[in-house]
Amino acid sequence: MATRPLRTFTVLPNLPSELQCLQHISYNLWWCWDHDAISLFRRIDEAKFEQVEHSPVKLLATIGQDRLDQLRDDEGFMAHLNRVSESLKRYLTASTWFHETYIKKDKQPEAALDRYRIAYFSAEFGLHESVPIYSGGLGLLAGDHLKSASDLGLPLTGVGLMYREGYFRQYLNVDGWQQERYPENDFFNLPLVAQCKPDGSPLLVSVALPGRDVWIRIWHLQVGRVPLYLLDTNIPQNNPDDRQITARLYGGDHDMRIRQEMVLGVGGIRALRALGKMPSVCHMNEGHSAFSGLERIRLMMEEHGLDFAAAREAIAAGTCFTTHTPVPAGNDVFAPQLLQHYFSSYLASLQISWDDFIGLGRQNSRDQNEPFCMTVLAIRLSNISNGVSKLHGRVSRNMWNAIYPNLPENEIPITSITNGVHTRTWMAADFSLLYDRYLGTNWEQRPTDHSIWKKVDNIPNAELWRTHERRRERLVVFARQRLHAQLERRGATPSEIARADEVLDPEALTIGFARRFATYKRGTLIFRNIERLAAILNNKDRPVQIIFAGKAHPRDHGGKELIAEIVHVCRRPEFRRRMVFLEDYDINVARFLVQGVDVWLNNPRRPLEASGTSGMKVCVNGGLNLSVLDGWWCEAYTGDNGWAIGAGEEYSDNDRTYQDDVESRAIYDILEQEIVPLFYNRTADGLPRGWINYMKNTIKTVCPMFNTHRMVEEYTKVSYIPSALRFSHLAGANLKSATDLSNWRRKLVREWPQVRVENIDANGKDAMHVGAEFDITARIHLGGLSPDDVEVQLFHGIIDNAGEIPQPATIAMIANADRTGATWSYKGKIRCQSSGQYGYTVRVLPCHTNLGNAFEPGLVCWG
């Protein structure tokens, strides 16, 4: 049937003038981390607020005129509305950490805002359950990043994709097998505003694909002070296939994925340009948006008449990259043929050869068999790259060491900034009031202040425990309601549905396990010895219960098998009241879980958990972690703020069965010998004082460190400000510094093969005493380079059993006038600081004032 042309118009709620500010509040996601604003919307109609998945926009669209008139005449509600409205105004106009730290102190404050403008690219953003454009940890981290950037006042803009269907909704069939459904997002009942031209027509940008242009509409979502722009290809200007590009998050094959990433990266930069919001710094959250670097280079070439090399120097200076994936298979790779299909015409505007282009995405740029990797492209186009925990930084340096083949692993230029969570988003309102009472209200503005969190000791044990118990009771009620709805949807018998009201015990020790069901996370590890588990859970005097939730990727058969196994075990008579699986894990389910469980279980195969953040959310609410020492828990665990499974061992693939046996036994041992006794050992007043001490320790140690305020401040100091200043320097004076640096780099690549250490002489003896010094002279052949182009270093330290120097120290050697042709003499001195077997050598590194760091070119000559 032919499609009939339709004229469209938007219908908005008919709010009385006195209630107009409700619309303003509902269109700023600030409300979702302000408990008073949330309670305002609940007050309008609690039942409907639940039905519309806590969406104020949908709520206002469904409220009848009679109810709106009642609210207008309700003095209590109007006072509440005015209080929230004033709170939002104060929030948006108050001075911020970034303004006080960087803008106010700048000699040219207005120019500083442009100099520090940041664009944050991510394929998903987990802001709230009512805006379903996220799948899991990466999206939740991105959402919390924006919230803290807003709180701290960073001049940051988010860029992502506006998915018509988002990530799938999960339900389980009678056999416990995951099924997926994809309900469409109703854009006009989301807090979205379409970006338009001055004449009112939609603002569109385009990306060229083979034989056609894909047109992109831009939607605006406000997150506190931070604008988030979301790109949408589902518009009439595109053919049906291209309209699907923004249909599903992580859907489709490699062909669909590369088109999504072209829209995100290339289209994202074009959208920012069309909006007049071009950044100085781009932060790529994972490699999905790495094509943004190519588009920024192309624009700089076009606008300033530069070649690719010079433009790349400037753009890389203003780019930082965060990798979240600790396994090679988790990084997007594309076959060269696919790249050629989509980028052959784009290549002409970059003015580089095909080999140079494809080499940007290969660890070994000359390996014709290596596919094109988006993570490698992101690393090559950034001046700062980081992992998301200290351990993940180490894993990432090992994963990508082939990009820097001559460098020791610990010097590969990939650092780490450990993830955090947005404290106010994940904290229960009960705990927020408790902290206000005993910590003061400054914890909200200064969540990184350790001295504030130490005041947790002032909270009376009984008050802290009762607050936590209320959250556990609410979790149990929520789980029963959820299970009841699941059984009805599945067509269960009335007797089965009735039994849903009997599952779980609001006073029992409650363990939570909820996450993406990838096989390495080992969701069924606790079932390794089912009889022993049954004895632990069904102890009459000391019962334990477990709540599971999580989704497997639609194509992850192994993950789906884990879910089915859990569901089958939950249905066994001995576990029916002690274990449940909650379907359709989302932010709302996560909120109840992290605010209500006593213990959060996390048992991935180390070191495959890059960071993890769910366990941090538990700590904000007084919950404790039982976790493998992986990701963030390596840094957080102190021995008295939770429990560790194992001691940080790493097993080979051949030892997986043995590893599962060892670590499952460790879980049972810790439960039986430590967790259960600590929880149930009560004093005369009924309080588990030992457990409460652990609760206070976890709040004091985790809350001030593992939050996104600390994380975003760290990104600002380590990545954003240095990148902005480097970009400003290289892009200034008509990009002279960028051109000079690219010319120097050409010379460096041309002349480096001639660099060699000809000989090393030392006046030290084999046996030296602590405190002794000895001189070293090295003769270095520099070819066509000069001493200004290099730094010659003494590389020295204690040798380990493998003959390596695991913790080297370096000393810059000084060139002197003793020169023969292209060979220069360098001198240095080593002081013996401690006893042991020492080793040293001499190495040569590139050196240039505009180089981000000496290791970035990946060139080193060893003596």
Q: What is the pLDDT of residues 600-633, one digit of tens each?
A: 999 999 999 999 999 999 999 999 999 999 999 9
Q: What is the DSSP string of 539-552?
A: -SSS-EEEEEE---
φ/ψ of residue 316, rounded to 5: -60, -35
Neighbours of 207 (CB within 10 A): 26
Contact 30, 91 (CB under 8 A): yes
Contact 185, 132 (CB under 8 A): yes
Write a three-state SS string for 307-368.
CHHHHHHHHHHCEEEECCCCCHHHCCEECHHHHHHHHHHHHHHHCCCHHHHHHCCCCCCCCC
Is pLDDT above 90 for 166? Answer: no
Give the residue from 37, 13, 32 showing the smallest Cα distance to 23: 13
Cα(27)–Cα(191) distance, integer angstroms: 5
pLDDT band at 191 (very low <50, low <70, confident <90, very high): very high
3-state secondary structure (DSSP) of residue 507: coil
Is pLDDT above 80 for 29? Answer: yes
φ/ψ of residue 15, rounded to 5: -85, 135
- The predicted model gives 679-694 an average pLDDT of 97
3-state secondary structure (DSSP) of residue 666: helix
Contact 691, 679 (CB under 8 A): yes
Cα(637)–Cα(699) distance, integer angstroms: 12
Q: What is the DSSP string of 754-766?
A: G-EEEEEEE---S
- The predicted model gives 514-530 an average pLDDT of 96
pLDDT band at 595 (very low <50, low <70, confident <90, very high): very high
Burial readout 90-107 (b: 16 or more C-beta within 10 A, e: otherwise): ebeeeebbbbeebbeeee
Q: What is the pLDDT of residues 218-230, one digit of tens each?
A: 999 999 999 999 9
Cα(103)–Cα(98) distance, integer angstroms: 7
Q: What is the pLDDT of residues 259-291, one digit of tens each?
A: 999 999 999 999 999 999 999 999 999 999 999
Distance of CA 95 to the CA centre of its chain: 27
Q: What is the pLDDT of residues 802-859, one digit of tens each?
A: 888 888 899 999 998 788 899 999 999 998 887 888 889 999 999 999 998 889 998 9
Beta strand pairing status for 281-285 and 319-322? parallel
pLDDT at 10: 61
Cα(364)–Cα(354) distance, integer angstroms: 15
pLDDT at 1: 43
Distance of CA 45 to the CA centre of its chain: 35
Q: What is the pLDDT of residues 473-514, one digit of tens each?
A: 999 999 999 999 999 998 888 888 888 888 999 999 999 999
pLDDT averaged over the chain? 94
Is pLDDT above 80 for 13? Answer: no
Cα(388)–Cα(419) distance, integer angstroms: 6
Cα(378)–Cα(302) distance, integer angstroms: 22
Is pLDDT above 90 for 252? Answer: no
Contact 198, 125 (CB under 8 A): no
Give the residue from 640, 647, 646 showing the smallest Cα distance to 667: 646
Contact 659, 666 (CB under 8 A): no
H-state helical runs in 389-455: 390-399, 423-426, 429-439, 442-445, 450-453
544 contact partners, CB below 8 Å, separation of at least 6:
508, 509, 510, 511, 536, 537, 578, 671, 676
Write a three-state SS string for 437-454.
HHHCCHHHHCCCCHHHHH
Is pLDDT above 50 for 678? Answer: yes
Contact 170, 180 (CB under 8 A): yes
Higher pLDDT, 741 or 4: 741
Give the residue from 679, 629, 673, 667 showing the smallest Cα distance to 649: 629
Q: What is the pLDDT of residues 655-664, one digit of tens each?
A: 999 999 999 9
**Tokens at 686, concatenated:** 């009924």
Beta strand pairing status for 319-322 and 204-209? unpaired
pLDDT band at 160 (very low <50, low <70, confident <90, very high): very high
pLDDT at 767: 74
Beta strand pairing status for 212-223 and 204-209? antiparallel
List of E strands, 184-280: 193-194, 204-209, 212-223, 226-232
Cα(572)–Cα(587) distance, integer angstroms: 29
Cα(605)–Cα(649) distance, integer angstroms: 10
pLDDT at 2: 47
Cα(702)–Cα(599) distance, integer angstroms: 15
Burial readout 21-38 (b: 16 or more C-beta within 10 A, e: otherwise): bbeebbbbbbbbbbeebb
Q: What is the pLDDT of residues 788-804, one digit of tens each?
A: 999 999 999 888 888 88
pLDDT at 3: 53
List of E strands, 14-153: 118-121
Burial readout 435-461 (b: 16 or more C-beta within 10 A, e: otherwise): beeebeeebbebbbeeebbeebeebeb
* High-pLDDT (> 90) share of the chain, %: 86
What burial class does residue 42 get, using C-beta atoms within 10 Å of its C-beta: 0-12 exposed, 13-18 middle, 19+ buried? middle
pLDDT at 657: 94
Residue whose token pair is 């939002």: 88
Give, in order, the Cα–Cα distances in Å from 61 to each of 54, 588, 835. 13, 21, 75
pLDDT at 4: 62
**Tokens at 408, concatenated:** 């020791």
Is pLDDT above 70 for 8? Answer: no
pLDDT at 33: 98
**Tokens at 250, concatenated:** 């992580």
Peptide bond into 607 cis (omega under 30): yes
Beta strand pairing status for 814-820 and 372-373? unpaired
Q: Is the dihedral of CA 41, 186, 206, 144 positive or negative?
A: positive
Q: What is the pLDDT of residues 348-365, one digit of tens each?
A: 999 999 999 999 999 999
Q: Is the dihedral of CA 371, 388, 126, 117 positive or negative?
A: negative
Q: What is the pLDDT of residues 625-657, one digit of tens each?
A: 999 999 999 999 999 999 999 999 999 988 999
Neighbours of 483 (CB within 10 A): 24
Cα(799)–Cα(806) distance, integer angstroms: 7
